[in-house]
């Protein structure tokens, strides 16, 4: 149905800032240097894709605690005049990564740190695929920024310094190659210490040395080949094969093989879409959590429009209950559906959504409630609601606490250029705390396989060649078939939850993008967490105190287990917009945590 309201509860205008406007722009939840690099590329005539790729490689250098070359990414490209496509940068499980093998070694879950948690690295190949297919610059020009910062260094962020300090003893005792890379004179560096990564710079230079003298695409192909089958792949395989400390406290080797890296290529996929309030929302398929946002929107099309305001008690309650239903379906049904690409589309149909909407009552639900799909048995994951699992160095999601407060965790970038090309990318994984640094390369492997279950009944069970169901979930919006906005957020399981609030406030409530980002955020923790130790809080709701005491008390009366977070603590959104009639663009970024930036002219 069409939702018609004049405007939601007004945002606190004295706290909202005007969004940046100009002829091209970008926004990011990442280091300011990466933002500046993207703007530099745009100023020098590069397009959105050139800018995003250049910034992406710089992120590996200046925010190594949030993403790295050994990680993964999900992106959406929307070239001017063309249909959007998903950039599939999520590598699969290695061919020797079987449930039987892991359980035979004494594991009952995939470790949160160590090479047994490493999927095939997908980020670098995906960035280079984007440059090849949609960029205009030579690979050497794009990588020059990352090489510069890796060689000369950059003042260390406090969050990065804190991460290294947390890992310092572990590095020294168990991961000596990481100690040599990240410690200074055997100690964790102080915030502001100028720290580079000369080994990674040499890796990039060596890749360029092997690029040859052919045309632009041939040179990119040569770099990708060296990455997948040359010296980079050989070093990755050698490092994985060396026994090292995992999150379970035991020393084990990984299982990555040369054939795993050679067999992976990033590529484009068709997205899933849903029409909502005059816009088409574009998301990645069911190997990501992206359809959660589509499911929640589909459910909310069937409720009273008065219950869609995220600033009211009724609105928060209704939105959270819809999210619980969509998240339960995620954990019950989502997975790598390459062999059954259409089987889960029933979750997005109006009839299914209407039935789910009828399950929302005036009281907070406390159960795990997936829906029913014909011919499928929903998987009921173990729901761990105790705090018995002790924290293990390097495990889980990098900087998200159980109460939902974040200091970073993953990065996100959106870019729009003067020609109308839009791109939205969420890179993650390969954090410096996830695996030992590969000494020949200057980076480490990721841990995305921790999202896979060692239970063959799960749709996201560990299996050779199967992609883990990732949390990475960028978004693009279309109006009348034309891309008009790109947005996204770090935040693990919270990513689509925070994006839902943004869409409700902008598409329904009349907020500007910056007002929507600045407004109070919340999310449910009544889900089977994607990261170790997969904590679940029945009726759990984390909300910023700025929502107001009256709203909070009303939610508690409805049965929500409310955790009140700091006034500016939740949400990491960024967005770009473009008016196709005038060509004018805008950008908005999150002020929380001093991590978000908007730039352009």
Give the start-end residues of each E strand in 142-227.
154-155, 194-195
Residue 25 lies in a domain: no
**Structure confidence by residue, pLDDT tens digits, 224-282:** 999 999 999 999 999 999 999 999 999 999 999 999 999 999 999 999 999 999 999 99
**CATH code at position 320:** 3.60.20.40
Asked whether residue 487 is domain-assigned, the answer is yes
In whole angstroms, give the CA distance from residue 266 to residue 224. 10
Question: What one-character-per-residue DSSP string does 382-396 give?
Answer: --B-S--SPP-TT-S
Q: What is the DSSP letter of 306?
A: G
- Please report whether residue 405 resides in a domain: no
Q: Are 233 and 378 in the same domain?
A: no
Q: Are residues 61 and 142 in the same domain?
A: yes
Q: Same domain for 39 and 172?
A: yes
- Give how far the C-alpha of residue 263 lies from the chain's centroid of Cα atoms, to the nearest Å: 24
Per the CB < 8 A criterion, the answer to whether 427 and 410 are in contact is yes
Q: Render pLDDT for 187-210 as a digit per residue (tens, 0 to 9).
A: 999 999 999 999 999 999 999 999
What's the chain's average pLDDT? 91
Q: Which of 409, 411, 410, 413 is nearest to 576 (CA)?
A: 413
**Strand, helix or coil for residue 202:** helix
Are residue 320 and residue 231 in the same domain, yes or no?
no
Domain count along the chain: 2
Buried b (16+ CB within 10 A) or exposed e, 334-350: bbbbeeeeeebebbbee
Q: Domain range spanning residue 447?
A: 31-268+414-451
Residue 1 belongs to a domain: no
Cβ-in-10-Å burial (0-12, 13-18, 19+) of 201 comes to buried
Q: How far apart are CA 448 and CA 450, in angstroms?
A: 5
Residues 193 and 264 in one domain: yes
- Looking at the domain assignment, is residue 462 inside a domain? no
Instruction: Give yes or no: residues 58 and 166 share one domain.
Output: yes
Q: Using an 8 Å Cβ cutoff, are 25 and 593 in contact?
A: no
- How many CA atoms lie less than 13 Å away from 409 in the CB half-sphere? 27
Share of the chain above pLDDT 70, in %: 90
Q: Give yes or no: residues 46 and 96 share one domain.
A: yes
Regarding predicted confidence, which is higher, 386 or 561?
Answer: 561
379 and 427 share one domain: no
pLDDT digits (tens, 9 = 90+) for 292-308: 999 999 999 999 988 99
118 and 248 both lie in a single domain: yes
How many angstroms separate the CA atoms of 14 and 588, rounded?
16
pLDDT tens profile 28-75: 666 788 889 999 999 999 999 999 999 999 999 999 999 999 999 999
**Whether residue 89 is found in the same domain as residue 182:** yes
Q: Are residues 251 and 215 in the same domain?
A: yes
What CA–CA distances, in Å, run from 340 to 41, 85, 268, 295, 335? 40, 19, 18, 19, 10
Same domain, 297 and 190: no
Residue 235 CB partners (closer than 8 Å, separation 6+): 438, 440, 441
User: Considering the chain, what percentage of its residues have pLDDT values greater than 90?
Assistant: 82
In a domain, 464, yes or no: no
Instruction: Count Cβ atoms below 10 Å from residue 192 Cβ, excluding itself.
Output: 11
Question: pTM of the predicted model, to two decimals?
Answer: 0.93
In this prediction, residues 158-185 reach a mean pLDDT of 96
CA Rg, the chain, in Å? 22
pLDDT above 70 for 569: yes
Instruction: Tell me the pLDDT tens digit for each residue of 74-133.
Output: 999 999 999 999 999 999 999 999 999 999 999 999 999 999 999 999 999 999 999 999
Is 465 among the domain residues? Answer: no
Q: Is residue 347 part of a domain?
A: yes
List the single range of 79-93, 210-224, 318-332, 576-590 with lowest mean pLDDT.
576-590
């Amino acid at each position: 149905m069409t939702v018609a309201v004049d405007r939601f509860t007004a945002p606190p205008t004295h706290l909202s800032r005007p969004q940046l406007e100009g002829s091209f722009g970008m926004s990011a939840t990442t280091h300011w240097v990466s933002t500046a690099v993207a703007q530099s590329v745009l100023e020098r005539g590069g397009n959105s894709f050139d800018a995003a790729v250049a910034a992406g490689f710089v992120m590996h250098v200046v925010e190594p605690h949030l993403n790295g070359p050994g990680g993964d990414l999900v992106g959406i490209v929307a070239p001017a005049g063309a249909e959007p496509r998903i950039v599939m940068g999520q590598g699969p499980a290695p061919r020797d990564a079987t449930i039987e093998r892991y359980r035979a070694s004494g594991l009952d879950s995939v470790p949160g740190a160590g090479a047994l948690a490493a999927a095939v690295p997908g980020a670098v190949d995906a960035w280079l695929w984007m440059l090849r297919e949609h960029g205009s610059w030579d690979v050497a020009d794009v990588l020059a920024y990352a090489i510069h910062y890796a060689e000369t260094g950059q003042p260390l962020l406090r969050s990065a310094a804190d991460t290294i300090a947390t890992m310092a003893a572990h590095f020294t005792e168990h991961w000596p190659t990481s100690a040599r890379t990240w410690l200074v004179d055997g100690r964790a560096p102080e915030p502001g210490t100028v720290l580079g990564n000369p080994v990674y710079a040499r890796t990039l230079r060596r890749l360029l040395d092997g690029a040859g003298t052919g045309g632009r695409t041939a040179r990119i192909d040569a770099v990708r080949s060296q990455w997948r089958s040359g010296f980079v792949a050989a070093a990755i395989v050698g490092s994985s094969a060396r026994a090292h400390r995992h999150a379970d406290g035991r020393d084990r080797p990984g299982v990555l093989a040369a054939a795993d890296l050679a067999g992976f290529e990033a590529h484009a996929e068709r997205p899933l879409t849903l029409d909502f309030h005059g816009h088409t929302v574009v998301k990645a398929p069911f190997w990501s959590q992206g359809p959660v946002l589509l499911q929640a929107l589909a459910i909310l099309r069937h409720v009273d429009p008065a219950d869609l305001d995220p600033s009211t008690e009724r609105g928060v309650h209704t939105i959270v209950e819809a999210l619980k239903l969509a998240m339960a379906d995620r954990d019950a049904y989502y997975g790598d559906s390459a062999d059954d690409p259409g089987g889960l589309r029933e979750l997005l149909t109006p009839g299914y959504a209407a039935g789910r909407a009828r399950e929302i009552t005036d009281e907070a639900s406390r159960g795990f409630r997936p829906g029913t799909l014909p011919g499928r048995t929903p998987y009921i994951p173990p729901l761990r609601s105790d705090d018995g699992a002790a924290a293990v160095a390097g495990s889980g999601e990098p900087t998200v606490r159980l109460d939902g407060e974040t200091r970073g965790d993953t990065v996100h970038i959106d870019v729009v250029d003067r020609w109308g090309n839009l791109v939205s990318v969420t890179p993650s994984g390969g954090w410096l705390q996830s695996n030992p640094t590969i000494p020949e390369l200057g980076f480490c492997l990721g841990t995305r396989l921790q999202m896979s279950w060692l239970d063959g009944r799960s749709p996201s069970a560990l299996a050779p060649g199967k992609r883990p169901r990732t949390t990475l979930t960028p978004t693009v919006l279309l109006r009348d078939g034309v891309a008009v906005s790109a947005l996204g957020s770090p935040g693990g399981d919270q990513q689509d939850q925070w994006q839902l609030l943004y869409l409700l406030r902008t598409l329904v409530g009349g907020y500007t993008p910056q007002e929507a980002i600045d407004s109070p955020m919340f999310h449910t923790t009544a889900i089977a967490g994607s990261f170790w130790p997969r904590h679940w809080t029945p009726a759990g709701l984390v909300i910023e105190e700025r929502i107001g005491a009256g709203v909070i008390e009303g939610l508690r009366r409805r049965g929500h287990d409310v955790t009140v977070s700091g006034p500016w603590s939740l949400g990491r959104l960024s967005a770009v917009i473009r008016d196709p009639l005038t060509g004018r663009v805008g950008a908005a970024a999150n002020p929380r945590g001093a991590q978000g930036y908007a730039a352009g002219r």
